[in-house]
Amino acid sequence: MNQVLRQAHDQRFSELIRNRTGIQLPVHRRQMIESRLRPRIAAVGASGFEGYLAQLFDHGLLEDELPLVIDLLTTNKTDFFREATHFDVLVQEIVPEAVRRAAPHPPRLKIWSAASSEGAEAYTTAIVLAEAQRAGQRFSYAILGTDISQRMLDRARRAIYSAEQLSPVPAELRARYTMVGRAPAHAGTARLVPELRDRVQFMHLNLMDRTYPVDRDVDVIFLRNVLIYFGPEDQSAVIARMVSHLRPNGYLIVGHSESMVVNHPQMKQHSPSIFRKT
Ligand SMILES: C[S@@+](CC[C@H](N)C(=O)[O-])C[C@H]1O[C@@H](n2cnc3c(N)ncnc32)[C@H](O)[C@@H]1O
């Protein structure tokens, strides 16, 4: 393939991924991109990355391959109790305040994990809220997890994690909220208990969509460690849409490295990576 066509395909691919997912693929990361796409390059029998792009753009494979490409290009790293201070603020401040505000009735909290990956963020939230209920706080809650990656959503719905993945969960909570797999195929794994799984729903959602099919009175949105992959325009647009789904006084929680990105007239900084709708 000649150099000019190759560059044109490269550029078209980066623009396509940016338009469809918001994710920026700088040219200097081409090696990483190629290595992540290797399974698809092999699956379609292409001779290499260039051959694969030619199949996508010139031989009509694009729409079939795109979901698989997105699954491979997203960075899905997540952990239980990641950036744990956020969960402290949730149970020590946000929940008691909601309970006081709704008194004498128990409030129903709506929480959204807006780039949920394989579910650790949503289930950590479920665990800490279940613990707050055990400690006597009267409220109910529903958690929504959304992500662009179908592969991650499938894992999140299964709610089966390795011992290593569950290691940040304190032993007492692991004992209470997970069931150890007995079948040989599940050795070394544990599944979250049904009481937690019932509180969490997972749904496919692309943050680049103009509108989101989500309630507009959400109490807390976790939007952590995803804005970093987007350019400034997409970051602002996503934040504006998120704000429109928060109830007045609702909270937006971003990753510790993302707090500079939240610059919206309706959002007031509560603490470094937590913002509140005015
Ligand atoms: C690094 S993980 C962060 C997971 C979790 N929020 C955390 O902080 O541990 C980023 C997630 O964002 C998702 N993502 C990337 N672009 C997206 C988009 N346009 N719409 C929805 N999810 C997206 C990826 O699939 C990935 O699972």
Write out pLDDT tens, residues 8-38.
Answer: 888 999 999 999 999 998 777 888 999 999 9
Could you tell me the pTM of the whole model? Answer: 0.96
Is the C-beta atom of 223 inside 6 A of ligand 1?
no
Contact at 8 Å (CB) between 70 and 107? no
Going along the chain from its start, the domains and CATH numbers come out as 3-73 (1.10.155), 85-277 (3.40.50.150)
Residue 191's pLDDT is 96
pLDDT of residue 9: 87
Instruction: State the pLDDT at residue 1.
Output: 62
Find all residues with CB under 8 Å of 139, minimum gap 6, and list them: 95, 98, 99, 102, 106, 107, 108, 109, 132, 133
Looking at ligand 1, which residue's alpha carbon is closest to its atom 2?
Answer: 76
Alpha helix locations (H) across the chain? Answer: 3-21, 30-43, 49-58, 62-73, 85-89, 95-102, 120-134, 150-158, 163-166, 171-177, 194-197, 232-244
Mean pLDDT score, 206-217: 98
- The order of strands in the sheet holding 218-223 is 200-204, 140-147, 108-113, 218-223, 246-254, 274-277, 267-271
Q: How many CA atoms lie within 13 A of 141 on its CB side?
A: 31
Index of the ligand 1 atom closest to the CA of residue 77 = 1
What is the distance in A from the centroid of ligand 1 to the CA of 267?
22
Longest dimension (CA), the chain: 72
Residue of 70, 124, 147 to test ligand 1 pocket, by largest number of atoms within 8 Å of CB: 147
Q: Which whole number is the average pLDDT over 165-183?
A: 94
State which of 82, 117, 242, 257 you would mutate to test the pocket of ligand 1, scoring each by most atoms of that ligand within 8 A of its C-beta. Answer: 117
Higher pLDDT among residues 1 and 211, named by residue? 211
Q: 229: CA distance to ligand 1 center in Å?
A: 9
DSSP 106: P
CA dist., res. 152 & res. 146, Å (int):
10
Asked if 179 contacts 190 with a C-beta cutoff of 8 angstroms, the reply is yes
Nearest of 54, 52, 18 to residue 37 by alpha carbon: 52
